[in-house]
Amino acid sequence: MGLSRELVGLPMKYISTRGDATRRGFSEILLEGLAPDGGLYLPEAYPRIDAPTLARWREVQATQGYAALAFEILSLYIDDIPAEDLRALCARTYTAEVYGSDAIVPLKPLEPGLCLESLSNGPTLAFKDMAMQLLGHLFEYELGRRGETLNILGATSGDTGSAAEYAMRGKRGVRVFMLSPHGRMSPFQQAQMFSLQDENIHNLAVEGVFDDAQDIVKAVSNDLAFKRQYRIGTVNSINWARLLAQVVYYFAGYFLATKSNDEQVSFTVPSGNFGNVCAGHVARMMGLPVKHLVVATNENNVLEEFFRTGSYRVRGSAETFETSSPSMDISKASNFERFVYDLLGRDGARTKALFADALSREGVFTLSAEEFAQIGAYGFQSGRSTHADRLATIKATYEGQGVLIDTHTADGVKVARELREPGVPMIVLETALPAKFEATIAEALGPDVHAPRPAALADLESRPKRFQVMPADTARIQQYIRDHVPL
Ligand SMILES: Cc1ncc(COP(=O)(O)O)c(C=O)c1O
Ligand SMILES: N[C@@H](CCOP(=O)(O)O)C(=O)O
């Protein structure tokens, strides 16, 4: 596939998926988010892990823990932060105190050959904390070093928002403007965000779906004059640092599920914006022995359809269903562009033609037969799950294995059970905890089963809320930012 490089100590630089070949360092793209040509940043080439390195990393995880493994992986991609500082940032981020156990991402067996990787034991009970906590420390470090401030503009369908706000609370020099789809998140998710009273946190509930909010984030990021004047940064997975942090738990999960590096595993990833599974793609490109990356969607099945047909057909707001796995109610997977860029042999002009031209003109693009034939080499498979599947899976997993799972993880487990193969362990990423989606848990299991929640969140939904409803209008959001950012 020709997209990797050997570990020979070359400087690590980043380029855009849309053809801007300007080589930028990590710290620059950390604060920048989207590339100036509207593309997404990727490393010039993926570092390729040889067998001795993989063996050493297995040992590092077993003897020194997750933070040390994170440092090993991150240091291949970040060479403009001194190694000792980066090591300290990893150690400060990945602690048992924040993630509930020394293992940080323990595996939970479901049945022979099938397990969950627990990614949702951080402060906001979703996998977003795995990367967002690191991002909070990285932003604070880099802004402190430069003596600058940053105004983060984000979009959330339920979990990125609270993870970002919890990670950025009290961080020097950082303000957060978080757009969410008004009325479409669970009561717990809304309360997690809207109950925050911090001055530097602004919750803007947009009249629209997640994709409308994400479109606004991209439009603002593409207004380069505004972006520079108001120092706009991003925390969505369009920011490469988010993805990079997520690469680590694919390695960690692999080491926990296997005894030797000769074994292969597959991962099933409940998917929406394609950030999580794209991190798995990066891990696989680095040489992690992953057989399949299974993309599990809910009824909003744009991605499942793509991997089945080669056509990427985004849906408008009216066609985006409101489901019981609301964080995956996404019809334009912004991160998907990174994978397609790799699939097209890193042809920036073709990627731009598909994403900037065809998609905005017609709302759809279809790969050529030759391009579609390449997908198998990248290990992707896909499946879809519905509300009835979620209820049945939550019930079967609770009654059969005594494990209570959330609605998004249920989408993953349903698809994993369909696609797993004998002899290849299947790891399903647990992307949230059931406490966030109580109504559907009650629908699946009856009113007597309660999802446990941390004592500190017992009264969450009854706390006073601070948020503002706004139209899905880029100019109005920009005006709100002008009104709240001193120049
Ligand atoms: C609980 C949960 N599961 C799955 C997803 C989908 O992940 P991704 O957007 O990285 O595909 C999200 C949102 O991103 C989420 O919050
Ligand atoms: N599901 C996400 C949507 C945003 O995804 P991101 O990974 O790009 O931040 C959410 O819960 O907000």
24-57 per-position pLDDT tens digit:
999 999 999 899 999 999 999 999 999 999 999 9
Sign of the CA dihedral running 309, 312, 317, 320: positive
Where does residue 461 rank: exposed (0-12), middle (13-18), buried (19+ CB within 10 A)? middle
Per-residue pLDDT, 487: 87
Residue 460, classed as helix, strand or coil, is helix
Q: How would you class 91 by CB atoms within 10 Å of its CB: exposed for 0-12, middle for 13-18, buried for 19 or more?
A: middle
* Interatomic CA distance for residues 193 and 465, integer angstroms: 8
Q: Class of 107-123+246-445 per CATH?
A: alpha beta
CA distance from start to end of the chain: 47
The ipTM, to two decimals, is: 0.99
- Which atom of ligand 2 lies at the shortest distance from residue 275's CA? 7
Distance from C-alpha of 458 to C-alpha of 435, rounded to nearest angstrom: 10
Whole-model pTM?
Answer: 0.97
Strand partners, 264: none
Strand order, beta sheet including 468-471: 232-233, 150-155, 174-181, 201-207, 468-471
Q: Of 120, 235, 249, 271, which is best to mutate to test ligand 1, by the most ligand atoms within 8 angstroms of its C-beta?
A: 271
Question: What pLDDT is stored for residue 1 in this prediction?
Answer: 44
Give ligand 1 pocket residues (Cβ under 6 A): 126, 158-159, 237, 270-276, 327-328, 408, 431-432
Q: 157-211, pLDDT tens digit by residue? A: 999 999 999 999 988 889 999 999 999 999 999 999 999 999 999 999 999 999 9
pLDDT of residue 3: 53
3-state secondary structure 253-307: HHHHHCCCCCCCEEEEEECCCCHHHHHHHHHHHHCCCEEEEEEEECCCCHHHHHH
Whether 210 contacts 329, CB under 8 Å:
yes
Q: What pLDDT was estimated at residue 7?
A: 54
Given a cut of 50, the residues of the chain with pLDDT beneath it are 1-2
**CA of 17 relative to ligand 1 center, distance in Å:** 22
